[in-house]
Amino acid sequence: MRELRFLIERNSQAHILAGEEALLLSVANGSQPILRFVIFDPPAVLVGYHQAVEQEVNIEEVKKRGWEIGRRPTGGGTIIMGPWQLGWEIYANNDLLGYTPENAIKIGAEGVIRALDKLGIKASFRPKNDVEVNGRKISGIGAFSEGNYIAVTGTILLDFDVDAMISVLRLSSEKLKDKLARDFKDRLTWVNKELKRSLDMEELIKISRDSFAEVLGIKLSDDYYNEFEKKTIQELALKYSSPEWIFNLRRPLIGDDIRYVERKLPGGLVKVQVKMVSKNLIESVLVTGDFFIEPRTAIYDLEARLKWSRVEDLENEIRTWFNSVKAIGITADDLIKIIEEVVR
């Protein structure tokens, strides 16, 4: 029977996110595969890689609550992580996780479903990356590969405060807040709500640990970070806690004649800011949102292409750029239409 290292960490967002990067490197360098459980403490508001904090987060409310703000190294939308959620992560050779991120997500979902079943909660997998109870999401899952190795990560909602989540998001009106609160209550559920009692986090950890071991068909060995992992986490935590990473990576444009539009596409919400010098000349462009584009830094290349470009060259520049990227649920025509709408 294969053996996996079992790690558990309760820490700040910077240390936990640094660990995600460090553990995949460690496994790729020869470490045994790893199952890690994490608890974010203090709570953290985490934006996706392509989002701008100022556009998504009520910064003052986050400070008032004593929470943290962080930026994930992957795309997607803003999430809230805290002591009311159990985060789980598997880092392994791709054969243990079905060789593809899509299969890894399904295997991870089986671990969650098995744990919930032990609690008497009947759950099911909803493609492409959710576990649901009676149509309401209780766990979200993501995965990515690096060579012959895969990382799959997810959460199990033990408890949830809808009003707290709404308060730390940047929303344009009370009406929108009310609508979003109703949407969350309709779309989400959590363990304590389903059980109609308060389950201790330690009990959830034990049940989840056993369930993942059963689904993976492996033995878990309690372990700690090795020297390589400690050193790498310490170094990477400096990045994940830095204002440069959290705020400056994606900062809204400022100045005169800045135009803005946002559009919901199948691949996510796309927000575009354009700073114009004249009617036909673009000074700079910022493209943010909860979308997924690979390579993740490709959006910078698009912005560089469009810097100091003429409006009539937009379509050609975007199509040329799009040939070298992989975008989920977003087409070249989508981007052309959105950006032309801003500048014309």
What mean pLDDT comes out for the span 193-216?
A: 95
pLDDT at 172: 58
What mean pLDDT comes out for the span 1-5?
A: 90
**Domain count of the chain?**
2
Residue 142, token pair as written in the block = 């993501």
Residues whose CB falls within 8 Å of the CB of residue 275, separated by 6 or more in sequence, listed in order: 253, 255, 257, 258, 259, 282, 283, 284, 285
* Confidence band of 173 (pLDDT split at 50, 70, 90): low
Residue 164 has pLDDT above 70, yes or no: yes
* 51 within domain boundaries: yes
* 253 within domain boundaries: no
Q: How far is CA 141 from CA 77, 102, 129, in A?
A: 13, 10, 5
Is 295 found in the same domain as 244?
A: no
> Structure pTM?
0.84
133-147, 200-214, 280-294 — which one is most confidently predicted on average? 200-214
Average pLDDT, the chain: 90
* 229 within domain boundaries: yes
CATH number at 224 reads: 3.30.930.10
Domain span holding position 121:
2-248
CA distance 158 to 139: 10
Residue 16, token pair as written in the block = 């936990």
State percent of the chain over pLDDT 90: 61
Interval 13-33: pLDDT, tens = 999 999 999 999 999 999 999
Is 100 found in the same domain as 62?
A: yes
Residue 177 has pLDDT above 80, yes or no: no
CATH number at 287 reads: 3.30.390.50
CA distance 108 to 154: 8
Residue 101 has pLDDT above 70, yes or no: yes
* 207 within domain boundaries: yes
Of 98, 183, 174, 143, residue with least CA distance to 292: 143
pLDDT at 220: 95
What mean pLDDT comes out for the span 95-119?
A: 90
CA distance 107 to 11: 26
Q: 141, 79 in Cβ contact below 8 A?
A: no
* 210 within domain boundaries: yes
